[in-house]
A and B are shown apart, each in its own frame.
Chain A
Amino acid sequence: MSKTSVIKIGGSLVSESAYSNVINDLKESGLKDFIIVHGGGNEVTKYSKALGKDVVFVTSPEGIRSRYTDLETAAIYNMVMRKISSDLVLSLNARGFRAIGLSGIDAGLMKAERKKRLIIVDERGRKRAIEGGYTGKVKEVDSDLLLKIIGLGITPVISPVALGYDGEMLNVDGDRAASAVASALNAERLIVFTNVDGVIINGRVKERMNLKEAREVLKAVGPGMDKKLIACIEAVEGGAKEGVIASGKVERPINNAINGLRTVVEGQ
């Protein structure tokens, strides 16, 4: 088990540049070994529209809506993710950290299997298989490389862009990418920041769950939160000590994610 914390900064925080609280608190909390994985789907949509590129979303039979990533969208996606990464690196470095922006394609840090086909619900409400575009599922993370970078006192900021096995660039889900990183490092914890206090069941934040309980509530949580919960479950199953879902909008987000009101998914 490494002492590393993997911190996922979700798209809702990136869009509002609300992550400064998180970065300020990283300094305050004294957390040393950490890796940031960011999202930013909303920003990709914003820039795609600005560039005149139609944004197409498809819906899975499970009701999850996702961006359809064709080759042009993949290029825009990569550009926007690099920008978000640079903004985070600037922000970290301005506070005395030594951060470096990386994506999965750099030195093959994160490899993913491309989804060659997707099953969607089409406009007639029927299930259909379509060409998969450039999305994938993370299969490998180079944990040695990450540990060496951390060992140099440098903080990796990882974009959810992966290297496909045919050498292509792939859009991967940021929550699941963070989970894969936390698993590969047997991390101390995965913290998934979002804009709510945690997993809310019957109007209250569920503060602790084991893996079985977390799987049981998966269907009861709303869209978006289910992906975060799955990320925590997979991180713990993959070797991380705990997965935490917490608000990035509170005054001291890191301290709160470790000691305050949040949801913790832990092993048995």
Chain B
Amino acid sequence: MKAKCKECGADIEVPDDALPGEIVSCPDCGLEYEVVSITHGKVELKLAEDVGEDWGE
């Protein structure tokens, strides 16, 4: 499956077996996206949040 990068317009390859929540990145600009849903071979992405490292004990 392919999706377009909202930043630079490059094609982002999304694996066919991707799961919601999976993070994919634009091969050109490196921007990261989170897979929101996959319906009938169509993938919806949103910009991934930047989550810093600090996860408790």
Contacts and interface: CB of A to CB of B under 8 A. Distances in A.
A40 B56 CA distance: 11
Nearest to B54: A137
A171 B53 contact: no
Instruction: Provide the main secondary structure of the chain B interface.
Output: loop
Most chain B CB within 10 A, of A126, A137, A170, is at A126
Which bracket fits the contact residues of A?
20 to 34
A11 B57 contact: yes
Interface string B14-27: 01001101110000
A44 B55 CA distance: 15
A71 interface: no
Nearest to B52: A137
Nearest to B55: A66
B51 A119 contact: yes
B51 A77 contact: no
Interface in A19-77: 39-41, 44, 58, 60, 62, 64, 66-67, 69, 77
A79 interface: no
A206 B14 CA distance: 45
A130 B56 contact: no
Given A119-B48, A119-B51, A129-B48, A160 B56 contact: yes
Nearest to A162: B56
B49 A172 contact: no
Interface in B19-57: 19, 21-23, 32, 34, 48-49, 51-57
A119 B23 contact: yes
A128 B57 contact: no
Interface in A111-135: 115, 117-119, 122, 126-130, 132, 135
Nearest to B25: A127
A67 B57 contact: yes
Contacts of A127: 22-23, 32
A118 B51 contact: yes
Nearest to A38: B57
A174 interface: yes
23 contacts: A39-B57, A40-B57, A62-B53, A64-B55, A66-B55, A66-B56, A67-B57, A69-B56, A77-B56, A115-B55, A118-B55, A119-B51, A127-B23, A128-B21, A129-B48, A129-B49, A132-B51, A136-B54, A136-B56, A160-B57, A171-B55, A172-B54, A172-B56
Given A62-B53, A126-B15, 19 more contacts: A41-B57, A58-B55, A60-B53, A66-B55, A66-B56, A67-B55, A67-B57, A77-B57, A117-B49, A119-B23, A119-B48, A119-B51, A126-B22, A127-B23, A129-B23, A135-B56, A136-B56, A172-B56, A173-B57
